[in-house]
Structure 1
Amino acid sequence: MASSNLKDNLEKLQIVAKERTVKTQNIEYDLETLVKKIKKGIIKLNPDYQRNHRWNDSESSRLMESLILNIPIPTVYLSQDVDVDEEVDDDVARYSVIDGQQRLTAIYGFMTNAYKLEGLEVLELLNGSYYKDLPPFLIRRLEERTIKCLRIDSTVDPQVKFDIFERLNSGAVQLESQELRNAIYRGKFNDIIKELAKNEDFRKLLGIDLKNPEENNKVKKMQDVEYVLRFYSYIDGEGENMKKSFKDFLSEQMDKYNKFDSNDLERLKKHFEKVMSFIIIQLGTDAFAKYKVENEKLKLQSHFNAAVYDAISIAISDKIMEDETFTITTQMKQRLKQLFFNDDFIDSINGSTNDKSKILKRIKIVKGVLK
């Protein structure tokens, strides 16, 4: 049966296989060349990866120790964003890093004296040393040490790059989906959602300390940015367009919004800011809290829940789009709290919460009580 089905779909299979086949080229760079290319911006180390660099100095130091000792390290995968023979300005990146961001950041950081070695066991005599402090023979050894790189052709579309990145994402500290999107779907919309994730009202609603936001896991893993993306992915009935998995749908939305012009993006930005300000004024900082029923009373489970966030933020956004004078009455506030006694609503915020049916269901239910 399977064999018969394959024969019937052979042409389709050939087309898909051809489209998804990735053109690559193996190359080796010595560390001195890599550092120069990063410094010139030829190889793009995303600034947000610098901010969200997940290795501490001890982990970075151990990599440098491995390089000095000539211990093999995994291949670095580069996306060729501009054809190597194409004339481009010096400030245009030719390559972005698909896999190996942490390794290259650690190498670049040490070889530009951004941190000193620590926690070394084999070469413990080097602990406390910056790159400039190393004896000349070790500097030469590092400069001449090569790393295998695999360059992926510039014609590969963003979704294929995302797939490759996800499959290669096997480091000790795995990257989150939004970190992958941040690397692949660069553009004005990507910049805007990162900016909006820092909005004070939004951070209060997510329970992020305004004084030390970088200590919060939502910020470290770019979950806050993904929550902004979720907002734009569902507003004004956008959720109806979900045909693939939740993860792929968010990636498609990133790609779509990145093509919007500056005026449309500015309008979307102001709308998000308006909705978050409205919510915090009308419902307070626990607007997206989740409750459970115990002894016929509501007990706080968490101050922020992503599914509750979807339901309330999108429902309110849609109401404001329909009527700019919309406000939340005392009766509406009471009905919102009573939702946690509603079995249908509870079902929509539990279990497989990213299923299209559950997302649309919980938004519809909340919109129903805001009448």
Structure 2
Amino acid sequence: MVIKQRTLKNNLDVLQQKARERTVKTQNVEYDLETLVKRIKKKSIKLDPDYQRRHRWSAETSSRLIESLILNIPIPVIFLSQDVDVDEETEDSTARYTVIDGQQRLTAIYDYLRDQFPLEGLETLSELNGAFYRDLPPFLVRRLEERTVKCMRIDSTVDAQVKFDIFERLNTGSVRLESQELRNATARGPFNDAIKEMAKFAEFRSMIQVPENDPASNSKVQKMEDVELVLRFFALRDGRYKTLKKGFREFLTTSLIQFNDWSDQEIDQGAWEFGVYMRFIYENAEDLTPFAKFRRGGKRMSTFNAAVFDAVAVGIAEVFSAADLDDDPDEAAQALEGYRELFEDENFFAAVSGSVNDGAKVVERIDAMVAHLGR
């Protein structure tokens, strides 16, 4: 205890300096919904900063929020980052505020007051089920427009990294952030931006069962699982899968941080290569579910499996370069034939089942695919 007290005393200056630097200056404000909607429409409030999750609320969840607002039931405080001081002159489209916590709530409010969805699943005000905003009687319109929401505004001088720390802390214990959503918040950079774009490649989306006509409604897109799959490909390829020692989530996060240091040229090259591999698999696999999982005997268990994605996509990348596939894919296409025979091997099947992110299983399934292609 004496040693601990002496250590704290010796570090007092450092602690005081950190406390001053990390202290967050805030201001409590209230906005009525009409004002909030106007500010969002003018882009004065930015709903989707890079570190925010994609909108995931269902119409029913959004409807319950609207019902709470009508009934004057308190809702959680919304945290806004003031990025541009009120006295600074900017273009009208410049966002003065970004949403640190409350994106789902503000999006639901904004969408409903713009007639984007009808209310559904209400129990207390069940008479309003099916009603768009335009259908509401005048007294309810007034209630909504004049209803105020409490906001906590964080000072414009706060360091950007502190704002991301706040975002992570505020989301602890709320609707759980998925792994890639958290990486999107805490491992920002050019490669992180790039894999979000790569996840939109048409062939890739088709093969992971994301509908082309409405990708936003797909759970993989909503939870950024599609983006994580792209990251998995880069993190495991070039023999990196054999270095997986720690937990898989930490491995992916560390890899993303490393890749964010890539040059623009390296990122562009990586995006081109990913596109080549995905097109090759799309055009040469046995059907449009190349990452499906099968039982021994040939019965399909699922149309998509992330562990099978690792085996197929990374395995191909280990044996054939993107340049080779782009120039002459015939040899690789011939080698790929019959790869689903791997499911007959009990070791391969075990490697895509159960705790699939175990390091030994990752090595087992990718090595099996490499062996099949090089046979």
TM-score by length of structure 1 reads 0.75
- Matched position secondary structure for 2:332: coil
Match of 2:75 in 1: 73
CA displacement at 1:253 relative to structure 2: 4.3
Structure-2 residue corresponding to 1:308: 308
Q: Say whether the 8 Å CA contact 1:77–1:97 is kept in structure 2.
A: yes
* 8 Å contact kept, 1:46–1:183: no
Look up the match of 2:362: 359
Post-superposition CA distance 1:19-48 (Å, at most 9, x none): 996736252322233223322323222299
The offset of 1:279, in angstroms, is 1.8
> SS in structure 2 opposite 1:288?
coil
* Among 276, 279, 304, the residue aligned to 1:277: 279
Matched with 2:320 is 320
Equivalent residues in 2 for 1:190-209, closer than 5 Å? 190-209=192-211
2:353 pairs with one of 330, 350, 353 = 350
Deviation of 1:270 after TM superposition, in Å, equals 1.4
1:80 and 1:154 in contact (8 A); partners too: no
Q: 1:329 to 1:64 in 2, by over 3 A?
A: closer
Q: 2:226 aligns with which of 202, 212, 224?
A: 224
Output one character per residue of 1:293-342: Cα deviation in whole Å (capped at 9) or x when no partner: 3xxx4443223211111122112123233872673375664566236415
In the alignment, is residue 369 of structure 1 matched against residue 368 of structure 2? no
Match for residue 29 of structure 2?
28
What's the secondary structure of 1:236's corresponding residue? Answer: coil
Q: How many residues align?
A: 360
Task: Give 1:92-103 correspondences, 5 Å limit.
Answer: 92-103=94-105
1:1-371 to structure 2, matched below 5 A, reads: 23=24, 25=26, 27-30=28-31, 31-46=33-48, 52-56=55-59, 58-79=60-81, 89-118=91-120, 120-123=122-125, 130-131=132-133, 138-151=140-153, 153-156=158-161, 160=165, 163-164=168-169, 166-170=171-175, 176-182=178-184, 189-210=191-212, 213=215, 216-239=218-241, 245-257=247-259, 260-284=262-286, 285-293=288-296, 297-321=297-321, 324=324, 327-328=331-332, 333-334=337-338, 337-338=341-342, 340-343=344-347, 345-371=348-374
Q: C-alpha displacement at 1:102, in angstroms?
A: 1.9
> The residue matched to 1:28 in structure 2 has which SS?
strand
- Percentage of matched positions with identical amino acids: 43
Change (3 A) 1:360 1:164: farther
Kept in 1, the 8 Å contact 2:180–2:228? The answer is yes
Shift of 1:106: 1.5
Q: Given that residues 38 and 44 in structure 1 are in contact (C-alpha distance below 8 angstroms), is that contact kept between their aligned partners in structure 2? A: yes
The alpha carbon displacement at 1:70 in A equals: 1.5
Counterpart secondary structure, 1:313 = helix
Give distance in 1, aligned partners of 2:161 and 2:307: 34
C-alpha separation between the residues in 2 aligned to 1:7 and 1:336?
63
Letter of the structure 1 residue corresponding to residue 295 of structure 2: K
Measure the CA separation in 2 of the matches of 1:366 and 1:180: 31
CA drift of 1:76 comes to 2.2
C-alpha contact (below 8 Å) 1:78/1:95 kept by paired residues: yes
Cα 1:329–1:118, aligned 2, differ >3 Å: closer, same or farther? closer
Helix, strand or coil: the match of 1:156?
helix
Letter in 1 for 2:367: K
Compared CA separation, residues 179 and 299, structure 1 to 2 (3 A): same
Amino acid at match of 1:226: E
CA RMSD of aligned residues (A): 4.3
Deviation at 1:235, TM superposition (A): 2.5
Structure 1 window deviating more from structure 2 (149-158 vs 69-78): it is: 149-158
The one-letter code of the counterpart of 2:172 is: R
Query: More deviation in 268-277 or 236-245?
Result: 236-245
Amino acid at match of 1:77: F
How far apart are residue 366 of structure 1 and its match? 2.6
In 2, the alpha carbon distance for the partners of 1:254 and 1:82 equals: 30
Distance change >3 Å, CA 149–CA 298, structure 1 → 2: same
Structure 1 window deviating more from structure 2 (319-328 vs 28-37): it is: 319-328
Can you give the 5+ residue segments of structure 1 that lack an aligned partner in the other structure?
A: none
The 1:32/1:250 distance shift into structure 2, 3 A limit, reads farther
Instruction: State the Cα distance separating 1:354 from its structure 2 match.
Output: 2.1
Matched residues in 2 for 1:107 and 1:154: separation? Answer: 29
Is the 8 Å Cα contact of residues 29 and 147 (structure 1) preserved in structure 2?
Answer: yes
Judge conservation of contact 2:113–2:133 (CA < 8 Å) in 1. Answer: yes
Aligned counterparts of 1:103 and 1:299: Cα–Cα separation in 2: 43
